[in-house]
Homo-oligomer: A and B are copies of this chain.
Amino acid sequence: MTVRELRVSLGERSYPILIGPGLLGRSDALSKLAQGRQVAVVTNDTVAALYEARLAASLAGATTRLSIRLPDGEAYKNWESLDRIFERLLRERFDRQCLLVALGGGVIGDITGFAAAVYQRGVDFVQVPTTLLAQVDSSVGGKTAINHPLGKNMIGAFHQPKLVLADVETLRTLPPRELSAGLAEMIKHGAIADPGYLARLERDLAALRACDPAALADAVLRSCEIKAAVVAADEREAGVRATLNFGHTFGHAIEAGLGYGQWLHGEAVGAGMVMASDLSCRLGLLEAPVLERLRGTIAAAGLPVRGPAWSFERYVELMSVDKKAEQGTPKFVLLERLGAARVQRVPDAALRATLSACSG
């Protein structure tokens, strides 16, 4: 199978995304970047045991190679993990010319990217996403962050990687629940930007859930294309990029309310997309059959379609610290039809009806 390549166009911050099976062990692009530099691979114990050795060949030209292992899970996407990276880099005298490599899922990618954004005011980094969610979402677009006890992704930066290597072979070891979480973001890409892609995902759902490499590589490519196009048009989320948050106002509230890591991010987004679609219907934007179709697809992907049984007040409280909120009033990404989304505030009554219909 050939390696698929696309380029994220961001002027001097442009970078390539390479997609295909077996990339980890034989990447010329990574070798070139690592040549003659201090390189630190940031990963967690689970991923390190499976894949860190394969990366070694691509990093052979580094002057120093460091392995930094963080505890596994969203609960550790915090200041302590970040400081562990800084401490190792400083002790090993890593300078501003060093390169960080994020080997793992979204948590590793977000922390490593943020570490790269602020270590000595900014160093280069490479994303090697090993989960479906990270391959189609968090490793594309340069959003990096850690969580704060008072809010998810509240502390972060926009910092673009120099290269993304998405090796679909790594998805074979992914638990089914994590595969489904990745599918949530792919369904999102179809829903907000490309109805044809959504139809293809629906058709290939069984192959994707069975980790068919060709089906995965094609779908990862299309999702990355959609996300890259949106990011290129609006790197710092002043406008259209916000539509990528479809399902996320509800989703973030669910994750924060349950405590990070109880539901996977993609699971919360799955239920969140149903809730946002329901809200779009109630506001007269979306037709009911489209809502039902999305609900069915999300369920067939192995994702929840209802939020936790909380009061209206609890949901609103949780949503009002969302980064899309303005002066405490949350905003929502709504669907006008498949392939077309917009961002707006909504009346309390509609929100109340959606929460009552789609949670508990």
A38 interfacial contact with B, CB 8 Å: yes
Contact status of A87 and B150, CB under 8 A, knowing A321-B93, A327-B93: yes
Contact status of A327 and B38, CB under 8 A, knowing A93-B321, A154-B119, A157-B121: yes
Q: In the complex, are the beta carbons of A118 and B86 less than 8 A apart?
A: no
Q: In the complex, are the beta carbons of B96 and A328 less than 8 A apart?
A: no
Of the candidates B114, B121, B321, B328, the one whose C-beta lies within 8 Å of that of A143 is: B121
- Compute how far the CA of A86 lies from the CA of B149 in the bound complex, rounded to whole angstroms: 10
A203 interfacial contact with B, CB 8 Å: no
Of the candidates B83, B122, B145, B328, the one whose C-beta lies within 8 Å of that of A158 is: B122
A120 interfacial contact with B, CB 8 Å: yes
- Compute how far the CA of A97 lies from the CA of B323 in the bound complex, rounded to whole angstroms: 10
Scoring A38, A120, A145 by chain B CB atoms within 10 A of each residue's CB, the highest score goes to A120
Contact status of A155 and B95, CB under 8 A, knowing A90-B148, A327-B63: no
Contact status of A154 and B90, CB under 8 A, knowing A118-B118, A121-B145, A145-B121: yes
Q: In the complex, are the beta carbons of A83 and B93 less than 8 A apart?
A: no
Q: In the complex, are the beta carbons of A118 and B323 less than 8 A apart?
A: no
Contacts of A236 in B (CB 8 A): 121-122
Q: In the complex, are the beta carbons of A157 and B122 less than 8 A apart?
A: yes
Of the candidates B86, B91, B117, B154, the one whose C-beta lies within 8 Å of that of A120 is: B154
Nearest CB on B from A143, distance (A): 7
- Compute how far the CA of A148 lies from the CA of B84 in the bound complex, rounded to whole angstroms: 12
Q: In the complex, are the beta carbons of A93 and B157 less than 8 A apart?
A: no
- Chain A contributes a number of interface residues (CB within 8 A of B) equal to 39
Of the candidates B95, B154, B327, the one whose C-beta lies within 8 Å of that of A328 is: B95
Of the candidates B79, B86, B143, B323, the one whose C-beta lies within 8 Å of that of A96 is: B323
- Compute how far the CA of A216 lies from the CA of B64 in the bound complex, rounded to whole angstroms: 49
- Compute how far the CA of A327 lies from the CA of B122 in the bound complex, rounded to whole angstroms: 16
- Compute how far the CA of A155 lies from the CA of B323 in the bound complex, rounded to whole angstroms: 23
Contact status of A326 and B121, CB under 8 A, knowing A150-B87, A150-B91: no
Contacts of A96 in B (CB 8 A): 323, 326
Name which residue of chain B comes closest to A119, CB basis.
Answer: B155
- Compute how far the CA of A114 lies from the CA of B87 in the bound complex, rounded to whole angstroms: 19
List CB contacts (< 8 Å) of A318-337 with chain B. 320-321, 323, 325-328
Q: In the complex, are the beta carbons of B148 and A86 less than 8 A apart?
A: yes
Scoring A87, A119, A145, A155 by chain B CB atoms within 10 A of each residue's CB, the highest score goes to A155
A272 interfacial contact with B, CB 8 Å: no
Known contacts A38-B327, A90-B154, A121-B158; 18 further A-B pairs (Cβ under 8 A): A86-B148, A86-B150, A87-B150, A90-B150, A91-B150, A95-B325, A95-B326, A96-B323, A97-B327, A117-B157, A118-B155, A119-B154, A120-B154, A120-B156, A121-B153, A121-B156, A122-B157, A122-B158
Q: Which A positions have Cβ atoms within 8 angstroms of B?
A: 38, 63-64, 79, 83, 86-87, 90-91, 93, 95-97, 114, 117-122, 143, 145, 148, 150-151, 153-158, 236, 320-321, 323, 325-328
| 9 A-B pairs (CB sep. < 8 Å) | A86-B150, A86-B154, A90-B151, A93-B325, A93-B328, A96-B323, A96-B326, A97-B326, A120-B323
